[in-house]
Amino acid sequence: MKRPNRFNLITALVLGACLVLSGPAMAKITFIGIGTGGTGGIYYPYGGGVAEIWSKHVDGVKAVAEVTGASVENVRLAHSGETVIGEVMGDVAEAGYMGTGKFDGKKHDILGMAIMYPNLLQIVTLKDSGITDVARLKGKNISTGSPGSGTNFMTEAVLKALNIQPDSYKDSRLSFTESANALRDGTIVVGSWAVGPGTSSILDLATTHKIRILGFSEAQQKQILAANDTYSAVDLSGGVYPGVDDAVPTIGVWNVMICQKSLDEDLVYKLVKALYEHQDYLKQIHPSAAYTTPENAVKYSPIPLHPGTIKYLKEVGVDVPERLVP
């Protein structure tokens, strides 16, 4: 998927800022980029809703949701200041903060801002593929998600925990929309999604083809959780996708909205306040936003929270544990 030209976007924003600053009130505008993901998942519409809330309800802020490679890239973009805000899977946020895994020992300057909603790993194949178990992926053409995405990060971690090594399958590393199309034309036999349930690209695929979502046995779940402490065993409810009527045992991880560590405390406080106070609007964008609550921020954040978030949480009476104080 072709990404927007960030130079043109920044140029347009700078020109807009010049026009605003030349006005009679000399108003100062703070432009905020939100790193999301591809258009076939939930990150992009969720981020678009957040951008609308901030632009409308936080004085002096203009926010824009950007299509990106998702979680891993969003950590790097927030660290560098290219977006400052990012939507990230919890395992990736923890790895970026600690400098582990794909971050090659480099700790990134990020903090937690809010908890979004849980992602469920959804490994999809067509019913006529004959594949009923992830253990049968060896030697197959698959997609573990686009490079730099949380889906790719999580799928590789899960497969390695099950002793399915990257050199044992051919990985096309496609975006959600590309994975759905590749399953349709038979280019791949399995595609992986780590997203909130009911994502559009799987729904679209399920309307034209009979699909199967591969579940994990209890033993497989235990093996995965033993290797990854940010994951949990969960069920994908039956009826979410056409033809998938029974619950599917899988693995879940919480999504985190991160921000650059150096962001002004008062700005983050205002952004978080607007986010929570207009949660009803965000739920209209996607029902998964029902999980975006102050209480979940302290329950599920895998990394310390920004002082601006902590200020708001204390204001509304939510206790912040010491482990989440930077």
Average pLDDT over residues 319-326: 97
Tens-digit pLDDT profile for residues 187-225 = 999 999 999 888 889 999 999 999 999 999 999 999 999
Secondary structure element (H or E) that encloses residue 267, with its range: helix 265-277
pLDDT at position 287 is 87
Tens-digit pLDDT profile for residues 15-70 = 344 434 444 455 689 999 999 998 888 899 999 999 999 999 999 999 999 999 99
> When comparing pLDDT for 181 and 13, which is higher?
181
Residues in the chain: 326
Quick check: pTM over 0.75? yes
> When comparing pLDDT for 177 and 5, which is higher?
177
pLDDT at position 16 is 42
> When comparing pLDDT for 11 and 251, which is higher?
251
Q: Which domains does the chain have, with CATH numbers?
A: 6-116+256-324 (3.40.190.10), 120-253 (3.40.190.10)
Average pLDDT over residues 71-92: 96
